[in-house]
């Protein structure tokens, strides 16, 4: 890359997919996702990262209770500082009993540090209404409490004022590649042998 | 049995279901008995059946029941007959009399109906008796039933009493007749047996059920006459009355009853099937032989069941029977069997007179029994025993026969295959990376190649217990003796006493020599010194020697004492356990010599002591003299002081003297610190020489052998014999057996992993174990710990006794050279025995009275040796020193004081001590403090935690760079500054990764700013004052911004979560109402626009909408004639027309952010354009965040122009053909509205006063009288333009930070109560009138919350204003207003880039020379107050400022509203007053909130005394607490400050 010549950066490529979710009580859900990263990070593919991306709506099949999106993710980040490591923020929405679109869960996970394949199961949660009455009216009017910004879940600040309820899980698989991390002095762990192991394990998983 | 019980269960259920009907019909019970003979209709039978069927159950069964009940009744009747007359029947009768009254009345005529009810009732009765039938006890059941029948019959009998006598004679006939009938019925009706009589003869072949059927049929078919009934009833069925003259059939019936019952209980299972068969047959017969009407009846009998219950009675009302608890328990006991869970004695389980036989003992294989809990086993044994042939379940050994454990060793269940991937997450296999071993990094270098192996030899030679639970008392003593003897031997070896004695002698000699020299040569300083040193040494040595001698002596004594104890113990217990024997060898001495030596020694000592005491006495005396002197001095002073005091008490006023005195006192105190209390020192006593000698002798006799006494040398040998076990008492034998059963082994753990273990060696009687094994450990990992675990094995179980940690040897310690070390261990196990063993952790006493208890813990010594092996060539197989863990982990090394100083591997404290002594560590070297501390701790014997607390433990280890590096690194600095949110770096992106890539330029701005902080650049400003003010403002700005940053991190729920407000009921109602309203109302209501959060916007999204509606009172052109220069022919010609037609042709031009748009041109001074102009809005730098939008300083300029057309022509020639028109724009006035106002208010709607120049050349305000508004316009004298301005889409205005600041609790000096009250007041105001601003508290420049009334206080305006018009206060007022309006206005939100209200005091305001409307208003209000006016602050909304502050004055002519920013005033009734709503009024005493209906000043009544219109803050309930003002009393004005205005505003000089 030319960019590396004038200033040193390391790159983090994220491939993968939002595989699916497990929301026992809900159906017909879609998922929004975005990345949250620190000042020293920049996505090289702006289009998919800058804005919120929305997946298709999926519903459960008769056999499985799992919601499958298989929505691909592909981004490359450029960074100079591991602080503010990118996080994937996922929020799931779906219609409620009255057909209003309500939020079904927020969740966030750091993009894995180590190269290789990773599967992350993100536990999802939604903010709770302050009052029980509000819970009822919210249910009735289809206006549940929502975060002002889904990115809130990627930060710790200010969360102490909220109460949340657990909802379900979203499974995301990542394939991580890094470039120049080690050269810049950031050793994120596994040696070559373990990456091979990762690969084999993923293959065996796929075979299943 | 299971099947039968099922059937019974079903029956029971059905019966229960019918219970209701029974109860209902209870009163009709005996209809059957009394009525049937009268009404008898066979034809109706089928209907009856059907009805029954329809009602609830299959009629067959009900019928059967009915019949059986009847039969029962009859039976009882018969039974009753002989003694009915003499029985007292009255008791049960009432119900029977009742029943005919109501029941039959309706049903008597219809037998169909009448027959039915009883079925229910009887069944109900039968339910009661059903319970016993199910039990096994048939006999009791039968008898009870019979008894019940009897009882029932008695009652029945009474009702029949009258008939009885008369019908006695006819009885037999009717009965016979009936019997005949019955025969026929039963034949067709039942089983294949064609001969009816045969059936009767052979009751055993009959199914009991059949019998019922038959009866049922019979009864239904031919209802007996009364006689018949009587006969039937009076028959006796009782088996014990066989002599009765009844017919055989009756008898048979009775018998059958019994049989039936037996049958039922025994072959219950079969019944159902048999019945089926029977019934099938019956069906056939029925159809063949009988009337058609019978068919349904028979068919319905499909699932008839045999019911053997006899109805207790028909009618009987009695109290609920109470069965006593005891009785019930008793009954339960009869019925229930609860197997005991106590163990069954073997004798019961086995056949008589057999002994249990254990196959196992006979050498046969017995499989493992399945595990069953003891209780369960006992219960089942007890249960089995109760059963018949129960004992066959028991084997020869008295245990329940059991197969071996049924559990298979390996699972045969096929593995689970999950089709779905939905495997339980808990079961899912999770890939985990292989973990590195804790010691993985500690590999010894070179260990990878096989040659480089290191070998650690662990030699475990043996074990000696110094205490063991199995010690007998003798052992305890013996071990103590052995210990003492060991001690003795070691002392003997060291022979400290001898050494010290010799040393003492030598010293004495030397001293004597010296004394001699001293005596000869006179004293020299050095000699004196040496002598004293020597004598000190002598004294010390002597004391040491005495101590040692005493120790020797006591040791010897205690050895003898223990030995005596052993002897007495052996004597007492009459056997010997230990082979120890103590011999005391006497060494005789020459008594004379000994005595001489002894005396000489004493003499010498006494002499020395004398000398010492003499010396001491001298010293003391000297001290005493000194003290005495001091004391005397003190006394004197005391006296003097007292005198002074007296004097002082007389004068009482001289403070200086007192002070002096005190000083003196201090001095004296400091002088004689040890003599603080005025006690006269005592004269020291002369030491008593005699007592000294006595003391010496005493001591000598205590610690020394008496002269002439033989020297005792103890010798311990193990030659004594141990009494053989046969001769010992049983307890001791048990102990010895126990000892012999035990064995010990040792596990060797290397780095917490077991590597080997010794053979198990049995414990010998002397509690020594010899292993003598050497383990060679090939070592790859660095040794962390070598641990020997001592295990004791009893039988197959073993337990950990103790752990012994062996220090890792130094590399220099190699096999062969390392001595075997004895390492002590102990365990705190609690062990107790019932034999002679003393146990462990058990109090033990050797005294007869049990006192002096001692508790012994298992302990011992393990002799072992750990060393590095030696290779073939004698090379030690030890890793090099540098490889030690201390070396590899430098960071952790800091923790270990020992390794820190380089003495790695010296874990043993003793060794460290030795090493410290050897290496002559300087204890004063600060480098060595840690080790000295460690040694001190170690030598004190107890390892205590350090008595200091380290606050940031391991902090140093976590610091990845040192502070200096942190400071010097540009990158880190950048990161830190960004983290601190320094303004330059707040959103700095991409801090370079490498240090060298951080350019120095980055910090230039920042450093410049920092530098600027100190210096004030005067060049940029007009004058120094301005510069200072700007600087000050900047500082305030920064502090405010910092505060905002702080509050920004203070989150509220609403900041994070969007949540619907709880709709109030009213809103809900409105919403419901809305549903009903028309879709397109005639008068549409304004729908709130959706607000857009600013973040998602980009350039071009926002537009500014300006609707120019109309203008009033635009200056009109003066007649052209007055402008001679412009005269043209056409103008002159059309002058009249022109004037009348076109006074002015105005249009509006709006310019905003480089966009200029204009309206069309309208005519006249009051034009109406009604045009909408759209201007694009671009935020600075494309940043559409709320903060940046707030700080937009752009203004909207609205200019009004007059469009003037001139027709010009180049020449007259072409005028005919072409017209040249010249358009001129004549500026008439302008309005400017800051964008921030529009943004914060989202829309502005109102009439704006157009700023017109004072003199407008060519235009005049006077115009023709054509306008309608002339009346008041003339009074106004201003031009107005009506505008509607808004932003499209509507933006969410920035949230006020004020709340947050309050939240964040920047300290307020106001009373908490006041703050709460104000909050409540404001909340209430906002709730009631959301559009009216209400402010009670404001924030001052330092961020403190201050109550607003504190700002209002009369303040003197510059004196010049007062002096200017001494006679005209009105003029002065307007001057002051003008003055205030000239102070530059600076909206807070612009300066602080956030909505916040900071209110500075007037003083600060005048210093800063900038402020918003509120500050202007306050200043103006204060000036007015000074001028003696009644003035208030109006908090309200105005155009275009939005929420703002105005000033209200009250004069004789009425109320006036002052705009502080423009200096203009309006009358209350002025329509063009920019103030739109009046929120509240403030003066120095109170705040009044406007609660009038219409808030516009036009309609507002300003009489604040009216409570209905103005809600005061301070009322009677919450009175004014007397808040002091924050304003200055008098404001001094410098002329220069006024002058500085004059520079900027040239208008002011004009005023003066």
* Higher pLDDT pick, B43 / B1215: B1215
* Cβ pair B1058:A146 closer than 8 A: yes
What average pLDDT does range A168-178 have in this prediction? 92
CA atoms of B893 and B902, how far apart (whole Å)? 10
Q: Are B791 and B803 in contact (CB under 8 A)?
A: no
**What residue ranges define each of the domains in chain A, with the CATH number in brackets?**
10-184 (2.60.40.150)
Distance from CA of A13 to the nearest CA of B (A): 18
Other CB atoms closer than 10 Å to residue B447's CB: what's the count? 19
Query: How do residues B1080-1103 score in pLDDT, each as one tens digit?
Result: 777 777 666 666 655 556 666 788
Helices (H), B652-688: 655-671
Query: How do residues B146-198 score in pLDDT, each as one tens digit?
Result: 666 667 666 655 555 545 444 444 444 444 444 444 444 444 444 444 444 44
Question: pLDDT-derived band of residue A88, with 50, 70 and 90 as boundaries?
Answer: very high
Q: Are B798 and B773 in contact (CB under 8 A)?
A: no
State phi, psi for B716 to the nearest 5 degrees: -100, 125
pLDDT computed for residue B165 by the predictor: 44
Percent of chain B exceeding pLDDT 70 equals 59
Query: How do residues B1502-1542 score in pLDDT, each as one tens digit?
Result: 887 888 888 888 887 777 777 777 777 777 776 544 444 44
Q: Is B1077 exposed, middle or buried (0-12, 13-18, 19+ CB in 10 A)?
A: exposed
Q: Are B828 and B884 in contact (CB under 8 A)?
A: no
Instruction: Assess whether pLDDT exceeds 60 at residue B678.
Output: no
> Residue A29 gets which letter from DSSP?
B
Compute the mean pLDDT over every residue in chain A, rounded to the nearest whole number: 81
CA atoms of B639 and B635, how far apart (whole Å)? 6
Helix (H) or strand (E) holding B573: helix B525-573
Find, among B261, B213, B232, the residue nearest to B68 by Cα.
B213
Query: How do residues B508-547 score in pLDDT, each as one tens digit?
Result: 888 888 777 777 666 677 777 877 888 888 888 888 888 8
Question: pLDDT-derived band of residue B1005, with 50, 70 and 90 as boundaries?
Answer: confident
CA atoms of B1131 and B1354, how far apart (whole Å)? 59
Please enumerate in sequence order all residues whose Cβ is within 8 A of that of A29, keeping only pairs 6 or more positions apart, or say none. A21, A23, A57, A58, A59, A67, A92, A93, A94, A104
Find, among B1227, B1220, B1232, the residue nearest to B1203 by Cα.
B1227
DSSP string of B1278-1319? -EEEEEEEEEESEEPPPPPSHHHHHHTT----S-HHHHHHHH
Instruction: Assess whether pLDDT exceeds 80 at residue A180.
Output: yes
What region does B479 belong to: left with phi over 0, alpha with psi -120 to 50, or beta? alpha
DSSP string of A127-161? EPPSSHHHHHHHHHHT---EESSGGGGG--TTGGG
DSSP string of B718-758? --SPPPPGGGS-HHHHHHHHHHHHEEEEEEEEETTEEEEEP
Question: pLDDT-derived band of residue B224, with 50, 70 and 90 as boundaries?
Answer: low
State phi, psi for A108 to the nearest 5 degrees: -145, 150
Compute the mean pLDDT over every residue in chain B, rounded to the nearest whole number: 69
> Residue B1356 gets which letter from DSSP?
P
Helix axes B689-703 and B591-651, enclosed angle (nearest 10)? 130
Q: Are B831 and B840 in contact (CB under 8 A)?
A: yes
Highest mean pLDDT range out of B36-40, B105-109, B295-299, B1379-1383? B1379-1383
What average pLDDT does range B790-809 have in this prediction? 83
Q: Chain centroid to CA B381: how far? A: 51
Number of Cβ pairs closer than 8 Å across A and B?
Answer: 94
Percent of chain B exceeding pLDDT 90 equals 0
pLDDT computed for residue A19 by the predictor: 92
Question: pLDDT-derived band of residue A89, with 50, 70 and 90 as boundaries?
Answer: very high
Query: How do residues B1036-1091 score in pLDDT, each as one tens digit?
Result: 777 777 777 777 777 777 777 877 766 666 666 776 776 666 667 777 776 666 66
* Higher pLDDT pick, B583 / A32: A32
pLDDT computed for residue B1192 by the predictor: 75
* Higher pLDDT pick, B68 / B318: B318
SS (H, E, C) B1227-1263: EEEEEEEEHHHHHHHCEEEEEEEEECCCCCCCEECCC
Query: How do residues B822-864 score in pLDDT, each as one tens digit?
Result: 888 888 777 777 777 777 777 777 666 666 777 778 888 888 8
Q: Are B48 and B112 in contact (CB under 8 A)?
A: yes
Instruction: Assess whether pLDDT exceeds 60 at residue B1152.
Output: yes
Instruction: Assess whether pLDDT exceeds 50 at residue A1.
Output: no
Question: pLDDT-derived band of residue B124, with 50, 70 and 90 as boundaries?
Answer: very low
Find, among B1489, B1466, B1381, B1481, the residue nearest to B1431 by Cα.
B1481
What tokens were used for B1221? 């028109």
Find, among B211, B305, B332, the residue nearest to B5 by Cα.
B305
* Cβ pair A148:B1056 closer than 8 A: yes
Q: Are B583 and B717 in contact (CB under 8 A)?
A: yes
Please enumerate in sequence order all residues whose Cβ is within 8 A of that of B207, keeping only pairs 6 or more positions apart, or say none. B191, B260, B263, B271, B274, B275, B278, B306
Sign of CA dihedral B987, B989, B993, B996: negative
Facing residue for B1062 by CB, picked from A133, A194, A197: A133
| Residues of chain B neighbouring A83 (CB-CB closer than 8 A) | 975
Question: pLDDT-derived band of residue B1022, with 50, 70 and 90 as boundaries?
Answer: low
CA atoms of A182 and A203, how far apart (whole Å)? 26
Other CB atoms closer than 10 Å to residue B594's CB: what's the count? 18
pLDDT computed for residue B1187 by the predictor: 67
Among all chains, which residue has been given the structure tokens 């508004």? B1269
Distance from CA of A114 to the nearest CA of B (A): 12
| Residues of chain B neighbouring A184 (CB-CB closer than 8 A) | 993-994
The bridge status of strand B858-868 relative to strand B454-467 is antiparallel
Q: Are B108 and B32 in contact (CB under 8 A)?
A: no
3-state secondary structure of B1150: strand
> CA B644 → CA B580, B631, B648, B663, B664, distances in Å?
85, 20, 6, 14, 12
Instruction: Assess whether pLDDT exceeds 80 at residue B1196.
Output: yes
| Residues of chain B neighbouring A129 (CB-CB closer than 8 A) | 1059
| Residues of chain B neighbouring A80 (CB-CB closer than 8 A) | 990-993
**Residue of chain B with shortest Cα separation from A155:** B1056
What average pLDDT does range B1139-1143 have in this prediction? 56
* Cβ pair B1059:A8 closer than 8 A: no
Helices (H), B780-939: 885-888, 890-893, 897-900, 909-918, 929-939
Best mutation target among A1, A12, A34, A80 (most B Cβ atoms within 10 Å) is A80
Q: Which of B567-571, B1023-1027, B1381-1385 has the lowest mean pLDDT?
A: B1023-1027
Q: Are A34 and A52 in contact (CB under 8 A)?
A: yes
| Residues of chain B neighbouring A161 (CB-CB closer than 8 A) | 1051-1053, 1055-1056
**Residue of chain A with shortest Cα separation from B422:** A64
* Higher pLDDT pick, B666 / B957: B957
What value, to the nearest 5°, has the Cα angle with vertex B1224 and ends B1222 and B1226? 165
pLDDT computed for residue A172 by the predictor: 94
Q: Are B35 and B114 in contact (CB under 8 A)?
A: yes
Other CB atoms closer than 10 Å to residue B1433's CB: what's the count? 27
CA atoms of A107 and A166, how far apart (whole Å)? 10
pLDDT computed for residue B921 by the predictor: 62
What value, to the nearest 5°, has the Cα angle with vertex B447 and ends B444 and B450? 165
Please enumerate in sequence order all residues whose Cβ is within 8 A of that of B320, keeping only pairs 6 or more positions apart, or say none. none
Distance from CA of A136 to the nearest CA of B (A): 10
What tokens were used for B1351? 């700002």
DSSP string of B71-127? HHHHHHHHHHGGGTTTS--GGG-HHHHHHHHHHHHHHSS-HHHHHHHHHHHHHHHHH
Instruction: Assess whether pLDDT exceeds 80 at residue B1227.
Output: yes
CA atoms of B883 and B903, how far apart (whole Å)? 13
What average pLDDT does range B678-696 have in this prediction? 71
Query: How do residues A118-136 score in pLDDT, each as one tens digit?
Result: 999 999 999 988 888 888 8
Question: pLDDT-derived band of residue B1215, with 50, 70 and 90 as boundaries?
Answer: low
| Residues of chain A neighbouring B440 (CB-CB closer than 8 A) | none
| Residues of chain A neighbouring B1060 (CB-CB closer than 8 A) | 134, 137-138, 141, 143, 145
Best mutation target among B425, B960, B993 (most A Cβ atoms within 10 Å) is B993
* Cβ pair A80:B990 closer than 8 A: yes
* Cβ pair B1052:A161 closer than 8 A: yes
Please enumerate in sequence order all residues whose Cβ is within 8 A of that of B665, keeping only pairs 6 or more positions apart, or say none. B641
Among all chains, which residue has been given the structure tokens 């157009």? B1250
* Cβ pair A162:B1062 closer than 8 A: no
Best mutation target among B995, B996, B1058 (most A Cβ atoms within 10 Å) is B1058
**How far apart are the two ends of chain B, measured CA to CA in Å?**
128
CA atoms of B840 and B1045, how far apart (whole Å)? 69
pLDDT computed for residue A121 by the predictor: 93
**Residue of chain B with shortest Cα separation from A80:** B993
Distance from CA of A149 to the nearest CA of B (A): 7
* Cβ pair B1056:A161 closer than 8 A: yes
State phi, psi for B855 to the nearest 5 degrees: -110, 125
DSSP string of B425-456? TTTS----PPPPPTTGGGBPTTTTSGGG-EEE
Interface list for chain B against chain A, based on CB atoms closer than 8 Å: 420-422, 431, 433-434, 975, 978, 987-994, 997, 1049, 1051-1053, 1055-1060, 1062-1063
Q: Which of A101-110, B12-21, B331-340, B623-632 has the lowest mean pLDDT?
A: B12-21
């Amino acid at each position: 890359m030319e960019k590396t010549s004038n200033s040193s950066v390391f790159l983090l490529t994220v491939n993968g997919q939002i595989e699916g979710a497990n929301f026992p009580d809900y159906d017909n859900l879609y998922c929004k996702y975005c990345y949250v990263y620190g000042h020293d990070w920049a996505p090289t593919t702006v289009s998919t990262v800058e804005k919120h991306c929305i997946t298709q709506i999926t519903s459960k099949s008769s056999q499985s209770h799992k919601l499958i999106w298989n929505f691909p993710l592909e981004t490359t980040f450029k960074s100079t500082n591991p602080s503010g490591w990118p996080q994937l923020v996922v929020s799931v929405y779906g219609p409620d009993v009255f057909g209003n679109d309500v939020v079904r869960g927020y969740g966030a996970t750091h993009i894995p540090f180590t190269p290789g394949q990773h599967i992350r199961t993100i536990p999802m949660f939604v903010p709770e209404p302050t009052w029980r009455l509000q819970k009822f009216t919210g249910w009735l009017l289809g206006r549940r409490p929502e975060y002002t910004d889904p990115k809130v879940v990627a930060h710790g600040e200010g969360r102490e004022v909220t109460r949340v309820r657990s909802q379900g899980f979203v499974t995301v698989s990542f394939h991580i590649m890094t470039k120049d991390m080690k050269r810049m002095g950031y050793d994120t762990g596994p040696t070559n042998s373990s990456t091979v192991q990762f690969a084999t394990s993923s293959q065996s998983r796929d075979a299943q | 049995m299971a099947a039968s019980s099922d059937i019974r269960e079903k029956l029971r259920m059905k019966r229960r279901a019918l219970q209701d009907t029974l109860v209902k019909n209870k009163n009709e019970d005996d209809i059957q008995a009394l009525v049937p003979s009268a009404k008898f209709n066979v034809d109706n039978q089928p209907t009856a059946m059907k009805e029954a069927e329809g009602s609830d159950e299959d009629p067959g069964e009900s019928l059967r029941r009915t019949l059986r009940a009847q039969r029962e009744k009859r039976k009882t009747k018969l039974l009753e007959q002989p003694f009915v007359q003499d029985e007292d029947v009255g008791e049960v009768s009432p119900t029977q009399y009742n029943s005919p009254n109501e029941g039959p009345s309706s049903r008597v005529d219809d037998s169909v109906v009448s027959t039915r009810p009883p079925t229910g009732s009887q069944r109900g009765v039968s339910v009661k008796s059903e319970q016993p039938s199910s039990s096994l006890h048939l006999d009791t059941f039968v008898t009870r039933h019979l008894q019940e029948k009897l009882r029932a019959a008695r009652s029945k009998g009474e009702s029949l009493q009258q008939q009885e006598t008369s019908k006695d004679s006819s009885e037999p006939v009717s009965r016979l007749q009936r019997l005949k009938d019955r025969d026929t019925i039963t034949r067709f009706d039942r089983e294949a047996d064609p001969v009816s009589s045969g059936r009767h003869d052979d009751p055993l072949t009959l199914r009991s059920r059949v019998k019922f059927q038959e009866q049922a049929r019979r009864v239904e078919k031919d209802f007996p006459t009364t006689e018949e009934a009587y006969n039937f009833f009076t028959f006796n069925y009782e088996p014990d009355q066989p002599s009765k003259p009844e017919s055989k059939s009756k008898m048979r019936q009775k018998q059958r009853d019994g049989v039936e019952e037996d049958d039922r209980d025994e072959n219950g299972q079969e019944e159902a099937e048999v019945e089926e068969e029977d019934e099938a047959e019956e069906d056939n017969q029925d159809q063949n032989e009988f009337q058609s009407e019978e068919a349904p009846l028979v068919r319905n009998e499909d699932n008839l069941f045999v019911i053997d219950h006899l109805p207790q009675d028909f009618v009987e009302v009695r109290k609920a029977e109470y069965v006593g608890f005891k009785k019930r328990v008793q009954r339960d006991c009869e019925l229930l069997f609860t197997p005991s869970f106590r163990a069954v004695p073997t004798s019961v389980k086995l056949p008589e007179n057999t002994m249990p036989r254990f196959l196992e003992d006979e050498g046969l294989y017995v499989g493992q029994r399945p595990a069953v809990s003891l209780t369960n086993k006992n219960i089942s044994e007890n249960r089995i025993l109760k059963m018949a042939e129960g004992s066959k379940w028991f084997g020869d050994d008295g245990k329940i026969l059991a197969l071996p454990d049924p559990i298979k060793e390996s699972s045969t269940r096929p593995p689970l295959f999950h089709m779905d991937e939905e495997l339980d997450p808990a079961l899912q296999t999770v890939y985990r990376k292989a973990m590195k071993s804790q010691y993985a990094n500690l590999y010894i270098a070179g260990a990878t190649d096989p040659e480089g192996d290191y070998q650690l030899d662990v030699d475990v030679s043996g074990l000696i217990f110094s205490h063991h639970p199995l010690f007998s008392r003798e052992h305890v003593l013996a071990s103590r003796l052995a210990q003492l003897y060991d001690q003795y031997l070691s002392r003997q070896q060291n022979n400290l006493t001898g050494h010290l004695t010799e040393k003492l002698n030598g010293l004495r000699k030397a001293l004597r020599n010296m004394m001699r020299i001293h005596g000869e040569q006179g004293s020299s300083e050095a000699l004196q010194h040496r002598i004293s040193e020597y004598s000190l040494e002598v004294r010390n040595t002597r004391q040491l020697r005495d101590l040692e001698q005493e120790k020797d002596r006591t040791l010897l004594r205690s050895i003898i004492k223990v030995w005596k104890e052993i002897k007495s113990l052996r004597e007492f217990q009459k056997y010997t356990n230990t082979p120890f024997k103590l011999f005391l060898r006497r060494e005789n001495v020459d008594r004379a010599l000994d005595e001489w030596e002894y005396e000489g020694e004493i003499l010498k000592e006494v002499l020395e002591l004398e000398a010492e005491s003499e010396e001491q006495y001298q010293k003391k005396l000297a001290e005493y003299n000194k003290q005495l002197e001091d004391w005397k001095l003190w006394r004197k002073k005391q006296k003097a002081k007292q005198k002074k005091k007296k004097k002082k008490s007389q004068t009482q006023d001289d403070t200086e003297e007192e002070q002096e005195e005190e000083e003196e006192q201090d001095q004296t105190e400091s002088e004689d610190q040890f003599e603080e209390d005025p006690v006269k020192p005592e004269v020291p006593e002369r030491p008593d020489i005699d007592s000294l000698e006595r003391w010496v002798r005493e001591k000598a006799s205590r610690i020394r052998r008496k002269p002439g006494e033989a020297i005792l040398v103890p010798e311990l040998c193990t030659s004594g014999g141990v009494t053989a076990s046969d001769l010992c008492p049983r307890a001791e034998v048990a102990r010895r057996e126990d000892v012999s059963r035990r064995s010990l082994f040792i596990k060797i753990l290397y780095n917490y992993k077991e590597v080997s273990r010794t053979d198990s060696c049995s414990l010998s009687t002397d509690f020594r174990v010899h292993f003598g094994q050497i383990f060679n450990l090939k070592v790859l990992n660095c040794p962390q710990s070598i641990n020997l675990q001592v295990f004791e094995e009893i039988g197959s179980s073993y337990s950990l006794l103790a752990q012994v940690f062996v220090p890792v040897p130094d590399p220099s310690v190699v096999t062969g050279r390392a001595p075997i070390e004895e390492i002590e261990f102990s365990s705190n196990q609690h062990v107790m025995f019932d034999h002679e063993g003393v146990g462990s952790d058990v109090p033990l006493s050797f005294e007869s009275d049990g006192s002096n208890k001692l508790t012994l813990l298992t302990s011992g010594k393990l002799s072992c040796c750990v060393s590095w092996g030696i290779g073939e060539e004698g090379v030690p197989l030890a890793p090099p020193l540098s490889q030690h863990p201390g070396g590899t982990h430098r960071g952790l090394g800091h923790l270990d004081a020992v390794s820190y100083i380089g003495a790695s591997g010296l874990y043993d404290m003793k060794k460290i001590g030795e090493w410290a002594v050897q290496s002559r560590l300087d204890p004063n070297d600060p480098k060595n403090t840690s080790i000295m501390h460690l040694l001190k701790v170690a030598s004190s014997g107890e390892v205590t935690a350090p008595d200091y607390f380290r606050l940031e433990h391991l902090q140093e280890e976590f610091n990845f760079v040192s502070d200096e590096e942190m400071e010097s690194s540009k990158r880190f600095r950048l990161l830190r500054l960004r983290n601190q949110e320094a303004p330059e770096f707040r959103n700095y992106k991409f801090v370079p990764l490498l240090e060298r890539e951080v350019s120095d330029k980055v910090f230039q701005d920042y450093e410049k700013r920092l530098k600027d902080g100190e210096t004030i650049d005067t060049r940029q400003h007009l004058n120094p004052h301005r510069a200072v003010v700007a600087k000050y403002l900047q500082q305030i700005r920064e502090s405010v911004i910092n505060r905002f940053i702080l509050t920004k991190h203070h989150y509220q729920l609403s900041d994070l979560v969007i949540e619907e407000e709880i709709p109030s009921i009213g809103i809900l109602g409105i919403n419901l109402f809305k549903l009903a309203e028309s879709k397109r109302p005639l008068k549409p209501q304004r729908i709130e626009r959706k607000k857009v959060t600013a973040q998602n916007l980009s350039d071009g999204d926002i537009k500014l909408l300006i609707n120019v509606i109309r203008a009033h009172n635009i200056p009109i052109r003066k007649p052209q004639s007055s402008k001679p220069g412009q005269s043209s022919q056409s103008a002159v010609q059309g002058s009249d027309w022109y004037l009348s037609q076109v006074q002015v042709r105005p249009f509006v031009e709006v310019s905003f952010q480089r966009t200029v748009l204009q309206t069309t041109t309208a005519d006249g001074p009051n034009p109406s354009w009604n045009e909408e102009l759209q201007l694009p809005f671009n935020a600075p730098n494309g940043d559409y965040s709320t903060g940046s939008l707030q700080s937009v300083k752009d203004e909207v300029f609205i200019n009004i122009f007059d469009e003037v057309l001139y027709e010009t022509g180049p020449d007259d020639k072409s005028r005919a053909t072409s017209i040249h028109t010249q358009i001129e724009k004549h500026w008439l006035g302008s309005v400017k509205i800051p964008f921030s106002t529009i943004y914060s208010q989202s829309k502005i709607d109102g009439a704006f006063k157009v700023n017109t120049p004072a003199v407008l050349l060519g235009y005049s305000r006077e115009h023709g009288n054509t306008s309608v508004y002339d009346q008041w316009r003339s009074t106004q004298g201003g031009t107005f333009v009506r505008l509607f301005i808004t932003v499209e889409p509507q933006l969410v205005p920035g949230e006020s930070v004020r709340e947050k600041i309050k939240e964040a609790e920047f300290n307020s000096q106001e009373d908490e109560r006041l703050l709460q009250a104000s909050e409540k007041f404001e909340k209430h105001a906002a709730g009631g009138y959301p559009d009216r601003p209400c402010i009670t508290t404001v924030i001052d420049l330092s961020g403190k919350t201050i109550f607003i009334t504190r700002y209002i206080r009369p303040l003197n305006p510059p004196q010049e204003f007062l002096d200017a018009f001494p006679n005209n206060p009105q003029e002065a007022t307007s001057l002051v207003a003008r003055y205030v309006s000239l102070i530059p206005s600076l909206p807070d939100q612009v300066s602080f880039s956030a909505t916040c209200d900071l209110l500075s005091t007037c003083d600060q305001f005048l210093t800063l020379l900038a402020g918003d409307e509120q500050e202007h208003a306050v200043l103006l209000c204060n000036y007015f107050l000074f001028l003696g006016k009644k003035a208030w602050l109006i908090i309200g909304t105005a155009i275009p400022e939005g929420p703002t502050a105005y000033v209200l004055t009250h004069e004789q002519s009425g109320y006036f509203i002052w705009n502080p920013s423009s200096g203009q005033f309006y009358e209350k009734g002025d329509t063009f007053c920019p103030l739109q709503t009046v929120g509240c009024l403030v003066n120095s005493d109170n705040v009044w909130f406007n609660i009038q209906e219409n808030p516009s000043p036009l309609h507002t009544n300003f009489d604040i005394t009216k409570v209905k219109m103005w809600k005061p803050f301070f009322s009677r309930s919450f009175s004014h607490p007397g808040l002091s003002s924050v304003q200055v009393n008098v404001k001094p004005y410098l002329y220069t400050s006024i002058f500085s205005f004059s520079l900027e505003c040239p208008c002011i000089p004009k005023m003066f």
